[in-house]
């Protein structure tokens, strides 16, 4: 099995004619979690997309080893399918056996399996996105505002799931305005990299 690693060297991000941040470097090894903090529009979501390989950096280099899974504001579930079928689709894409016995966090979705995704509340959608990520088997989780729309109970469950992923040797990068309480969580303030 490949040991996960995520590294960025001297990253810069430009939106239009404006440099959002520059000179940002990071290295994450198994078991580590990083929270990206900063004001709206400072580049947290852009950085997550750069790390995922979906947005090219204006400058710098990203290197990763191990599979990546992204959960952002775009719910990657077919809104017309019942939730159970939408999640099963991703299990097939991720080549997860239907009888996989790896313990997964319980995001309280069993009663929603027959509900079309488009009818889920904001919090239910967020829990579904986290369930998809947790079931993916990916070593590196890139989470953009994973706690938005969650009440205190489900926020705690989500954070426990992220902590368990890291305790099992995974890596998590979390862009969040909300407080995140994980063991050994490092924080990077993007304001420190604004030109």
Q: Phi, psi (5° rounding) for residue 5?
A: -155, 140
Distance separating alpha carbons of residues 172 and 9, to the nearest angstrom: 18
Beta-sheet pairing, 140-144 with 18-28: unpaired
- Rounded to the nearest integer, the mean pLDDT of the chain is 90
What is the structure's pLDDT at 2?
Answer: 75
Rounded mean pLDDT of 90-116? 72
Which residues, other chains included, contact 140 with Cβ-Cβ below 8 Å and sequence gap of 6+?
Answer: 4, 6, 28, 64, 66, 67, 68, 69, 170, 171, 172, 173
**pLDDT exceeds cutoff 80 at 97:** no
Q: With respect to CATH, is domain 5-193 assigned 2.40.10.10?
A: no
* Digit-coded pLDDT (tens) for 119-171: 989 999 999 999 889 888 899 999 999 999 999 999 999 999 999 999 999 99
Q: SS3 for 108?
A: coil
Please, which pLDDT band fits residue 59 given cuts at 50, 70 and 90? very high
Distance separating alpha carbons of residues 128 and 86, to the nearest angstrom: 10
**pLDDT exceeds cutoff 50 at 101:** no
**pLDDT exceeds cutoff 80 at 104:** no
Which residues, other chains included, contact 1 with Cβ-Cβ below 8 Å and sequence gap of 6+?
Answer: none
Q: Kindly report the pTM of this predicted structure.
A: 0.90
Q: Which segment of 8-22, 73-87, 111-125, 178-192 scores lowest on mean pLDDT? A: 73-87
Distance separating alpha carbons of residues 62 and 55, to the nearest angstrom: 11
**pLDDT exceeds cutoff 60 at 82:** yes
**pLDDT exceeds cutoff 60 at 83:** yes
Burial of 176 (0-12, 13-18, 19+ CB in 10 A): middle
């Amino acid at each position: 099995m490949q040991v996960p690693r995520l590294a960025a060297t001297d990253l810069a991000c430009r939106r239009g004619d404006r440099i959002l941040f520059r000179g940002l470097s990071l290295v994450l090894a198994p078991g580590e979690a990083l929270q990206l903090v900063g004001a709206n529009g400072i580049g947290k979501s852009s950085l997550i997309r750069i790390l995922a390989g979906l947005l090219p950096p204006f400058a710098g280099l990203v290197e990763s080893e191990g599979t990546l899974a992204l959960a952002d504001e775009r719910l990657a579930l077919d809104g017309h399918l019942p939730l159970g079928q939408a999640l099963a689709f991703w299990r097939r894409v991720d080549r997860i056996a239907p009888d996989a016995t790896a313990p997964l966090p319980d995001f309280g979705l069993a009663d929603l399996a027959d509900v079309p995704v488009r009818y889920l509340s904001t919090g239910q959608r967020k829990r579904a996105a986290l369930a998809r990520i947790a079931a993916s088997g990916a070593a590196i989780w890139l989470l953009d505002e994973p706690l938005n729309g969650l009440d205190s109970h489900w926020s705690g469950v989500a954070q426990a799931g992220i902590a368990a992923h890291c305790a099992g040797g995974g890596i998590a990068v979390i862009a969040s305005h909300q407080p995140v309480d994980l063991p050994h969580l490092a924080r990077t303030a993007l304001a420190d990299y604004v030109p």
